[in-house]
Structure 1
Amino acid sequence: MAEAAAKTVLDRISQGHLECPICCCRFKDPKMLDCLHSFCLNCLEEMMSKQKSETEKITCPVCRRETQVPDEGLQSLSSSFFLISLVDEIKTQEQLLGKETTNASCESCEEGQEAVSRCLDCKENICKKCQEAHQFLKYTKDHRIIPTEDLDKLRVLPTDVTKAVVPKCREHIEQPLCFHCETCDILICSMCAATEHRSAEHKFVGITNAIESFRESIRTILQKFEKSREQFASNEDSIKHARNRLQEKLARGRSAISSKAEAEIAKIRNKAELLTENLNEIGQERDSEYENSLVHNRDQMERADQIVTAVNDLMRQADDFELLELKPKVMHNLEFQKELKCKPARLDLAFIGVKCQDVVSDTDLGEILLEEKWQLKEEFGKEGSGDGEFQLANSVARFNNGDIVVTDTIQKRLSLFTSDGQHKKSIDKGAGRHQLQAPWGVVVNYDDLLFVTDINKVKVFDYKLQFVRQFTPSVNDAEGLSRSALTDIAMDTQRVAVADWGRKIISVHNLDGSMIATTTNDMVNYYIAITDKIQDRLIFTNYRKNRLLCVDFKGNEMFNVMTSLNGKPAKPTGVLCDDDGSIYVAVHADTLGKSVVQHYNSDGAFISTVARGLYNPLGMAFTPAGGVVVADKHSVKFFQRM
């Protein structure tokens, strides 16, 4: 049973790793191409014979990369010594297990004579004539030869018999290779070191040090490949989200065109069709660009994966000498990591809309909007301290019924308004345990629960501003710790993120207040957003240092960019994250009334300005219908996204 199991294992190893991809048979004199894939020499020669005679390159049938054929021919390609050794070892073990008969043929000549012995250095079964030739030739007379009957009697070869032989120098054939000349990038012997490589310009080190340095270089580059893989994965998700958004916008645009066309009756249907064709053409072009981005990125990673797989196989299976012999090819292949160029998701192409207008015989039905814009729909509030008045409208949220809730951080007041700005109720600073002391940030979830940051606690109210519960994001204040000073609060579908400006912490919680994660960052300031649409991310602004930042839940920085306006650094405040990863930031101008809202993609790249002419914008929130409401210091403004 043990022999049967061993035979099965040998078969699996041979089929999975030791068969030529061309002939699907066990490797025979395997040669390695520049892409690190190996094939039988005879198979490569047959491939070359079918190509045009003037062709000086051979194409790998696995990855389609080309290899320059040496002037001396395919036989001068690097031999895959580790495959040769593995094939030979498999043959030996199969012989020991009785899979092959002891009447093997000579592998050294073509006369087909019965093998009477085996050369352990050449790793071949040889006949009597070849044995005599081995003992006669200068280069092979010291080879270790044992009779085949002695080999068959062994179940496991002695360690010293199977141990790899130290390669000899090609220039000084009696000298073992013991150094690696880093200047020439070749293996040398002690005679080489004392003669051709003895000048000061030659730097050589021992084999052990050279291979360790080489392996460390490989590890470093492979880590970069892994980071590239993560970047490509992230960008693919971003591209898909942007592509989906494009399709949604296209659907809305077509609907708007159709509605307007019906309103203008038959006289404008022709123009409606022309505009629809234009819209579809632009949409197709942009969709094709997204498709090309996906194909390009996948092709890049497929090629990178092939290189990584080949290098990893080589690193596991080859010995030190073979690795250093192949170092130029390995490093040449790994140079591809520097060429990896990931096409990012162009979120600016994902927006497409239609602005319709009244049509007469000499005008078009409408125009196609290639950039997102927000149009001011309505506003309410003014400067003051009375009901419906603000001294510093800081944060805003909207319930599903349209009611608006606003915090005023100077008046320390939380106010509730109808959708048209009529004051309904306010909570001012109070003394009770459940009263608000200094409300700052507000957010409403899908169940119409209102979450409010209040000094060091998060308090939860219903849509009537009735207290429900509370929780403490940070641990209790203790000696040596800064005091909590909670500022903004943000929410995705199932989680709440809280910014603690005092302790420079952002904490993430379940809706019941239980902790999920915390991250510390010296740049934590006032306003934050959270998203799980692309990956778990926390986006926040730093007002004083003009920065827009993004970290994951472990605190790893995804991006850190400067916000600017008219070519100058500008101070950001409120931040929102859309369902496709788009980021919107309120940015302050030097002059009141000139502030804007800017659109960034999921990687922190500026796309466009979507709203202008704001007085002093602070907190922002999306409405259930997809609009945007902005706390603009002394008023609340409603924007419709066009």
Structure 2
Amino acid sequence: MAEAALHTETTCKIRHVHIECPICLTRFIDPKILDCQHSFCLKCLQELVDKQDPKTDFIICPVCREKTSIPDKGPSALLNCFLLSSLIDDVINPDGPREDNQKQTCSPKCRKHTDQELCFYCDTCDLLVCLKCAVFQHREQNHKLTEIKDSIQSYRQAVEEALMKFDECRKQFQEVDDSIKHSQHRLQIMVDRALRDIVAKEEEEVEKIRKASRLLQERVTQISIERGGQFSSIQISNSDKMSRAEQIVASVNDLMQHANDFELLDLKPKVMHNLTFHKELKFQTVQHSKSFIGFKGHDVVTDADIGEILEEEKWEVKTEFREYGQGEGEIIDPVDVACLSNDDIVVTDSERRILSKFTSSGSYKSQGVQSRTEDGQLEDPRCVAVTSDDLLLVTDGEDVKVYDSELRYIRQFRPSQNEVEGQSKSLLAGIAVDKKDRIALYDCERKVISLHNKDGSTISTIHHDAIGVIGSPSFLSVNSKERLIFTNPYEMKLVCLDFMGNEVFNISTSLDGKTVFSTGVCCDDAGDIYACIVRKNGDGDLHHYDASGEHIGCLARGLYGALGMTFTPTGDLIVAALHSVKILHRV
């Protein structure tokens, strides 16, 4: 009894609160939805429109005062609220349709010829018709008539196709939303870095620049708020569109599941009208370039001018050192670079088979072991990476050799070679270290990428067709999202795999149909990708890609013979080029 009372109380509340029109205060008849998601009877909305100025092309919601554009065909063309209609039916008949009603819906009669059953559907008039109507009225006018079972089959197929198109819209929405989230994340990282740079400059100049520093910080924050607001506004707009679309789809799905064939056909024009929404469902995107912001300090500081805000990302060479030769502090063939936590730069010279260390301004500091008889002598050095505690890892033939920050040899390890059947040799090329000090190795002889702990023990081995041809000087990077990004120069590819070996993207780096080679690659803190693209004549450019592999643009030119590269802790970019090392900064 208590359960029955509760059911009656709930039903009464639904009847009085949820299924009554706020205008006429009676049960909804043909409910329509406004843009604000409030529903009203079609007749009530029509009366509102009739009472207002004929030039007014919108309806003001009586509940929240939001505006909704009036369709060209009037309020009747507004979206139907099938969910509300179904709720009304459930409240009126909580135990389902009575048996006598069910018998009536099994064989409905023609309204014009009451002794005739409805057996055809006129696609021209969108009406159920009986045999007499078909013969004496519709056929004479050459209307398209189909049997009910054929018409309902075609109807369901059309609904299914419309819903499939909506699935494509949902996928597009997710892709756009993921892109916006990535841009928001990158914007925040860039804002944090810019604020840190501003504070560092402020501390350097002390009291003289504090006022200007605060102004710049406010400007950066203001830009962050403005752009973040734009991103959020676009997200909300896309989500609102998606929400309205989901409601329509849910109503249609509910109707398709619970209504009988005759009811479906009777509602066909309205349903199909509502399902055309996907044609207008366009999602806004954001400009990826808006996720960048930086700070450039001025050399000459006045009370009112310590630097400027960088709202577009461009790079230029700040420093270059190119002492060519065999002497101390000279380099011949730099292949790769790494940067220690104190901004010192370590260079692998494949011709001289040594490691050399320079300051961030290019001044020579020291070089590693050269004697062939001592442990740690490099025989075929290629790429270098650095761990969180400033250990240097150098690929040398089949081995990875480990040095401290003073270039003193510590140990070495050789990755397991049992993973590839029939391959006894190994040639390690690219190497990268992630934030957890996991080591990724690119073996271009066995065409695998292996993951290792800091002590050299193997975590996993990844096989993939995109892993480069034998002997190719490929480079490797790991971003913050546990993605392996590597170049395949001879096939002109930039490839991204996850740690399980699943392909995230595989894109061509060719430019305007011309032959180019993708060489060095590295990632910023947000996961965006920076790659060196070298033409056949040796001219090199720095290109920017987002984390999904979309090409953003060319950031710098004039990097002749560019190979390996890496970021410094302060955000500069170091590039190993032909006979030289270049340090680039944002301008």
Q: TM-score, normalised by structure 1?
A: 0.68
2:529 pairs with 580, 583, 608, which one?
A: 583
CA deviation after TM superposition for structure 1 residue 211, in Å? 0.5
- Contact 2:533-2:541 within 8 A present in 1 as well: yes
Kindly tell me: are residues 172 and 578 of structure 1, through their superposed partners in 2, closer, same or farther at Cα, counting changes over 3 Å? farther
C-alpha deviation, 1:444, in angstroms: 0.9
Q: How does 1:229-628 map to 2 (within 5 A)?
A: 229-246=174-191, 248-249=193-194, 252-253=197-198, 256=201, 284=222, 288-318=226-256, 319=259, 321-322=263-264, 324-337=268-281, 339-347=282-290, 349-357=292-300, 371-379=313-321, 381-384=323-326, 390-401=331-342, 404-409=345-350, 413=353, 415-417=355-357, 419=359, 420-426=363-369, 438-454=380-396, 462-463=404-405, 464-467=408-411, 469=413, 471-472=415-416, 476-479=419-422, 485-494=427-436, 495-502=438-445, 505-506=448-449, 511=454, 513=457, 515=459, 518=462, 520-522=464-466, 524=468, 526-532=474-480, 535-550=481-496, 552=498, 555-558=502-505, 560=507, 562=509, 564=511, 570-589=516-535, 591=537, 594-602=539-547, 604-610=550-556, 612-628=557-573
**Which letter maps to 1:491?**
V
User: CA separation of 1:549/1:390 partners in 2, compared to 1, >3 Å: closer, same or farther?
Assistant: same
Contact 2:533 2:540 in 1 (8 A): yes
2:156 aligned with 1:211, yes or no? yes
Contact in 2 for aligned 1:537/1:551 (Cα 8 Å): yes
Equivalent residues of 1:428, 1:436 under 8 A apart: no
Q: Quick check: 1:27–1:84 contact (8 Å CA) kept in 2? A: no
Change (3 A) 1:564 1:257: farther
Contact 1:242 1:346 (C-alpha < 8 Å) held by counterparts: no
The 8 Å contact of residues 33 and 78 in structure 1, kept in 2 or not, is answered as yes
Tell me the alpha carbon deviations over residues 285-313 of structure 1, each in whole angstroms, 9 at most, x when there is no partner: 57524422331232122222222233124
| Partner residue, 2:71 | 68
Kindly tell me: are residues 9 and 483 of structure 1, through their superposed partners in 2, closer, same or farther at Cα, counting changes over 3 Å? farther
The amino acid across from 1:52 in the alignment is: Q
The one-letter code sitting in structure 2 at the alignment partner of 1:425 is G
Whole-angstrom CA distance in 1 between matches of 2:125 and 2:446? 54
**In the alignment, which residue of structure 2 is the partner of 1:133?**
none
Which residue in the other structure is 1:92 paired with?
93
1:636 aligns with 2:581: yes
Matched letter for residue 28 of structure 1: F
3-state SS, counterpart of residue 575 of structure 2: strand
Aligned residues: 558
Structure 1 or 2, whichever has the larger Rg, is 1
Look up the SS of the partner of 2:368 in the other structure: strand
Q: Deviations over 1:339-393 (max 9, x none)?
A: 2121233257523424334889xx9887765544344335255255x76555532
Contact between 2:234 and 2:284, CA under 8 Å: does it hold in 1?
no
Deviations 1:437-482 (A, max 9, x none): 644332112122333445566565554331165544x762215x89
Deviation by residue 1:124-167 (Cα, 9 ceiling, x = unmatched): xxxxxxxxxxxxxxxxxxxx47xxxxxxxxxxxxxx56x96577
C-alpha deviation, 1:206, in angstroms:
3.3
Secondary structure at the aligned position of 2:364 is classed as coil
Match of 1:128 in 2: none
Deviation of the 1:407 alpha carbon: 3.4
- Given that 2:540 and 2:561 are in contact with CA atoms closer than 8 Å, whether structure 1 keeps it comes out as yes
Amino acid of the residue matched to residue 245 of structure 1? M
Please state how far the C-alpha of 1:510 moved relative to its aligned partner: 5.6
Distance 1:203 1:632, change over 3 A: farther
RMSD: 5.2
Give 3-state SS (helix, strand or coil) of 2:571's partner: coil
SS at match of 1:395: strand
Does the 8 Å CA contact 2:320/2:580 hold for their aligned counterparts? Answer: no
Distance 2:161 2:35 in 1: 21
Q: Flag the 1:355–1:416 CA change in 2: closer, same or farther, 3 A.
A: same
How far the C-alpha of 1:58 sits from its partner, in A, is: 3.9
Q: Percent identity?
A: 23
The CA distance in 1 between the partners of 2:202 and 2:31, in whole Å, is: 64
Q: Is 1:7 equivalent to 2:7 in the alignment?
A: yes
Q: Contact 2:382/2:430 (CA < 8 Å) preserved in 1? A: yes
Kept in 2, the 8 Å contact 1:59–1:66? The answer is no
- Residue 551 to residue 24, structure 1, CA distance change in 2 (3 Å): farther
Q: Which residue of 2 aligns with 1:221?
A: 166
> Secondary structure, in 3 states, of the residue corresponding to 1:29?
coil
Q: CA 1:328–1:523 in 2, change beyond 3 Å: closer, same or farther?
A: farther
Shift in alpha-carbon separation, 1:186–1:239, aligned structure 2, 3 A: farther
Residue 111 of structure 1 is matched in structure 2 by: none
Per-residue CA shift, 1:596-633, capped at 9, x if unaligned?
434444453334434x5444221112233433332224
Q: Are 1:176 and 2:118 matched, yes or no?
A: yes
Counterpart CA distance in 2 for 1:383 and 1:168 is 100
Distance across 1 between alignment mates of 2:328 and 2:342: 21
Partner residue, 2:48: 48
CA contact (8 A) 1:540 1:575 kept: yes
Shift of 1:574: 0.6
Contact kept, 8 Å, 2:315 with 2:584, in 1: the verdict is no
Letter in 1 for 2:71: Q
Tell me, yes or no, if the aligned pair for 2:448 and 2:467 is still in contact at 8 Å: no
Instruction: Map 1:125-136 to 2 at 5 A.
Output: none
Distance in 2, matches of 1:186 and 1:350, equals 58
Q: Is contact 1:488–1:499 with CA below 8 Å preserved after alignment?
A: yes
Question: CA 1:635 to 1:347, structure 2 compared with 1: closer, same or farther past 3 Å?
Answer: same
The one-letter code of the counterpart of 2:551 is A
Q: 2 CA distance for matches of 1:437 and 1:12?
A: 86
Q: What letter matches 2:278 in structure 1? A: L
Per-residue CA shift, 1:75-100, capped at 9, x if unaligned? x9787667545433434347x9xxxx
TM-score, normalization by structure 2: 0.74
- Residue 79 and residue 228 in structure 1: after superposition, are their counterparts in 2 closer, same or farther (change >3 A)? closer
SS in 2 for 1:219: helix
Q: Which amino acid counterpart does residue 635 of structure 1 have in structure 2?
A: S
Q: Distance in 1 between matches of 2:570 and 2:42?
A: 69
